[in-house]
Structure 1
Amino acid sequence: MFSENEIATMIEIPAIHEATLEARKDFKTSEASMLEISEHDFLSLIMMTPAMGLTLANGSVSLFEELGLNKMARKMSKGGYFLKVDPVAHAMKYALKNFDAWEDRFLKVISIAMDATFDMDRLRKLKGNKLEDPVKSFARDLMTVPYIFVRFLSTMVLNDEADIVDHRSISQVEYDKISDIGGKLGISDLPVFESFCRTFDIK
C-alpha cells in the first residue's frame, strides 16, 4: 500500500490533483454532501478502490476484511487518526454502499495517476522471467519495474505489500476481479502483471 508521504507527493502532481478534485466534488454531491475530507485523504480513498472491489467480489465484507481495509485507510490518511474517526475509513463506508457507481470513476483516476508517475510503454517492452516456480519468476520481474508500480500493484489487491511475493489461494470470482481491474487499468498486458496473476492458486 502507499504511505502517507507517497500520497502527499502524488496529490501535488497537477493531473492527479485535478482528477481527484473532480471526483471528490461529484462524490460529495451524490453520496455524502456533509462529508469533510481533504484532497489528500480522498486520493487515499481512491487508491483503495481495487482493494474494496476485491473485498466485495464474494458479495460481502467480512470482519477480517473490514479490519484490513481500515488499516490501509489509516496508513494513507494525512496526519494519522489513531484516536479519532479516520476520514478515509469514514468515506470508505459510503463508497462501499454504492461501489458499483464509483468503481470505474475511481479507477480512471488511478489510471491518470499511473500515467503521471511511470512509463507504461516501457513496462510493456520488458520481458518477463519464465522460471518454473511462478513466485520466483514474479520476484525477478518485480526487480525490473519502477518502485511506484510495485506500490500500485500492492495497493490493488493486498492489505500488506510484504505478502506480495507469495503463493496465494483465492476464489475464482476473486481472480476474475483481479483480471477485471487489470483490464480497466490498462495493465493486464504487462508481463509483470501476467507474472503476478500466475502466483495465484484458484480454489
Structure 2
Amino acid sequence: MITGSELITLVRDVDLYNAMTALKKDFLKVDPAFMDLSDDDFISITLISPSIGIALANGSVSHYEEITLRRKARKLSRRSFFQKNDPLAPALRYLAYNFSEWENRFYELIKITMHSSLKANNVVLDTLKNPQALTGDLKRDILNAPFIFVKFLSFLFMEEDDDLLNERAITEVELAKIRQIGVELEIDNVPIFQEFCDSFVIRSGDVVE
C-alpha cells in the first residue's frame, strides 16, 4: 500500500499539485463540513475512489465496505482522526452517494498522480510497457515490477498488500469495473495490469450469461 510519506513525495510534482488544488477547490464547495479537509485528506479520498467504484459495481456500498474504505483512507491521512469534527468520513459518504458526478474527475487526478511518478524515469516506464518483461507468473512479475506501480496497483484495487499475491475471487461486474478504471487511468495496455486482471477468479454464480 502507498504510505503517507510516499504520497507527500508524489505531491511535490507541480502538475499534480495544481490539478489536485483545482479539484479540491470544487469539491469543498459542496459542503461547509468539507472545509477542514487537508491536502492529505483529499488525495486519500481521491485514491480511494476506484475502491468506491468497484463497490458500487454491485449496486451499493455495504457497511463492511464503508468501514474498509475508511480504514484505507486513514492509512494515508491520520490527521482527521484526531479532529473533533472529522471531515473525512462525511466526505467519503458523500462521494459514495454522488459518485457518478465526480468519478471521472477523480480518476483523471489519479492518472496524473501515477504518471507523474513514472515519467521521470524512462527506463522504468519502458520496462513497465514491455510484455517481454513478464514471466507468466504473476507473483514473480509483481515482485519484479516497478515498486511504485505495484504500490498503486495494491492500493487502488486491493484491500491489503498480500491480496496481490493470493488468489482473489470477485464478481464479474467488479472485474469489468477494474478493467474500465484501467482504461480511465490509461494503464489498460500495461502488460502486468492485464495479467493482474486475468488472474482474478470469478465467484461461482456471478457470471453473467
TM-score by length of 2: 0.86
1:134-149 matches, cutoff 5 A: 137-149=137-149
- Partners of 1:50 and 1:155 within 8 A in 2: no
Instruction: Say whether 1:45 aligns with 2:48.
Output: no
Corresponding residue number in structure 2 for 1:61: 61
> What CA distance in whole angstroms lies between the structure 1 residues aligned with 2:48 and 2:86?
14
- Partners of 1:57 and 1:174 within 8 A in 2: yes
Instruction: Say whether 1:123 aligns with 2:128.
Output: yes
- Partners of 1:40 and 1:77 within 8 A in 2: yes
* Aligned-partner residue type, residue 129 of structure 1: T
Report runs of 4+ in structure 1 exceeding 4 Å deviation: 82-86
Corresponding residue number in structure 2 for 1:168: 168
Q: Please list every run of 5 or more consecutive structure 2 residues that lacks an aligned counterpart in the other structure.
A: 120-124, 204-209
* Aligned-partner residue type, residue 123 of structure 1: L
**Aligned-pair RMSD on alpha carbons?**
1.8
Structure 1 residue 145: Cα displacement: 1.9
Cα offsets for 1:126-168 (capped at 9, x unmatched): 42222xxxxxx11111123221111111111112112111111
1:101-112 matches, cutoff 5 A: 101-112=101-112
- Partners of 1:54 and 1:174 within 8 A in 2: yes
Cα offsets for 1:99-130 (capped at 9, x unmatched): 01111100101111111101444411242222
1:1-203 matches, cutoff 5 A: 1-29=1-29, 31-35=30-34, 36-79=36-79, 81=81, 86-119=86-119, 120-127=125-132, 128-130=134-136, 137-203=137-203
CA 1:85–1:147 in structure 2 vs 1: closer, same or farther (change >3 Å)? farther
Structure 1 residue 82: Cα displacement: 6.0
Q: Equivalent residue of 1:143, what SS?
A: helix
> What CA distance in whole angstroms lies between the structure 2 residues aligned with 1:197 and 1:163?
13
Structure 1 residue 94: Cα displacement: 1.4
Moved more, 87-96 or 172-181: 87-96
> What CA distance in whole angstroms lies between the structure 2 residues aligned with 1:95 and 1:183?
21
- Partners of 2:61 and 2:96 within 8 A in 1: no
- Partners of 2:33 and 2:87 within 8 A in 1: no
Cα offsets for 1:12-50 (capped at 9, x unmatched): 221211111011011122x22441211121111101111
Q: Equivalent residue of 2:81, what SS?
A: coil
> What CA distance in whole angstroms lies between the structure 2 residues aligned with 1:84 and 1:151?
31
CA 1:42–1:123 in structure 2 vs 1: closer, same or farther (change >3 Å)? same
Corresponding residue number in structure 1 for 2:207: none
- Partners of 1:166 and 1:199 within 8 A in 2: no
Aligned residues: 196
Q: Equivalent residue of 1:92, what SS?
A: helix
Q: Equivalent residue of 2:144, what SS?
A: coil
> What CA distance in whole angstroms lies between the structure 1 residues aligned with 2:179 and 2:200?
12
Cα offsets for 1:53-72 (capped at 9, x unmatched): 11111011112111111110
